[in-house]
């Protein structure tokens, strides 16, 4: 076993280099930390330099080998710089975790305005597609690798108040299936996780008030919200050799919430 509730002792990712987008707080930060604890060299990124600096400082204090790069995933020059800096620092890339997402629209899907719809799909779907496409040369140089998209249970069971966001997360399932099939013979695995309701700043609309939290908990058979670290272990498994025969899958971690279309 690699972990206990609060302790991780494992080197199954030793020698691997991981790039994790939107990894300065919440689920992304937890993933970056977990991969580092399991032996990977990790490149953390975010749109704001102060957030990158703070995350790197925290992870370095934990004794992890990390490097920070400012990256707005919708900008081609930022994505290129992210990969260039990873290769410059660590010599290559083995793992991509595409975690960046936005949600500027709260409400039913057909109430979403065009500008918000475009922004959601530019970041949540298009940027994930481009990040995966642009990392391929680096993975091929290493003889293979692993890509994980961070989706949501909302992609399987849409949240009414997060309509457009839910649709964007469904799109990541299709991207996972298509890309995994295309890359299966190249030792490049592509998988996706679908977290349930996780206690993060990003999902605060679903749990910040007592009434919202109570309503959310009624949908979760385990009757509690997830912690970010509970998603990080799932990703660490998927990018490790323990999952060497798993590709094209959507792994749901949602406390028992309904999880199939």
Compute the distance between CA of residue 178 and CA of residue 195 in angstroms, rounded to an integer.
21
Q: Which two tokens stand for residue 159?
A: 């949240």
C-beta separation of 216 from 123 below 8 A: no
From the list 83, 90, 165, 245, the catalytic residue is 165
Strands 17-20 and 41-46: parallel
Kindly list the distances between the CA atom of residue 211 and the CA atoms of 166, 179, 208, 215, in Å, as whole numbers in the listed order. Answer: 22, 40, 9, 6
Question: Quick one: angle between helices 76-90 and 127-141, nearest 10?
Answer: 30
Question: Is 90 known to be catalytic?
Answer: no
Angle of CA points 193, 66, 142, to nearest 5°:
65
List residues with catalytic annotation. Answer: 165
């Amino acid at each position: 076993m690699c972990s206990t509730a609060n302790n991780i002792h494992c080197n199954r990712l030793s020698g691997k280099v991981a790039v994790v987008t939107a990894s300065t707080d919440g689920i992304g930060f937890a993933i970056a930390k977990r991969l580092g604890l399991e032996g990977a060299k990790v490149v953390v990124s975010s749109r704001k330099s102060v957030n990158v600096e703070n995350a790197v400082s925290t992870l370095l204090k934990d004794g992890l080998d990390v490097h920070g790069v400012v990256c707005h995933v919708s900008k081609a020059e930022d994505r290129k710089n992210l990969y260039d800096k990873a290769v410059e620092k660590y010599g290559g890339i083995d793992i991509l975790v595409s975690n960046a997402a936005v949600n500027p629209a709260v409400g039913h899907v057909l109430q979403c305005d065009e500008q918000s719809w475009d922004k959601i799909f530019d970041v949540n779907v298009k940027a994930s597609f481009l990040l995966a496409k642009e990392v391929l040369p680096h993975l091929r140089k290493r003889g293979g690798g692993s890509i994980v998209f961070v989706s949501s249970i909302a992609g399987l069971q849409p949240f009414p108040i997060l309509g457009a966001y839910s649709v964007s997360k469904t799109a990541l399932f299709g991207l996972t299936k298509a890309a995994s099939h295309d890359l299966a013979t190249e030792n490049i695995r592509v998988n996706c996780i679908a977290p349930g309701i996780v206690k993060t700043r990003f999902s605060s609309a679903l749990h910040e008030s007592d009434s919202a939290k109570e309503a959310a908990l009624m949908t979760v058979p385990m009757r509690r919200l997830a912690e970010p670290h509970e998603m990080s272990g799932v990703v660490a498994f998927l990018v490790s050799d323990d999952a060497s025969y798993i590709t094209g899958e959507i792994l749901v971690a949602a406390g028992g919430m309904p999880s199939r279309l």
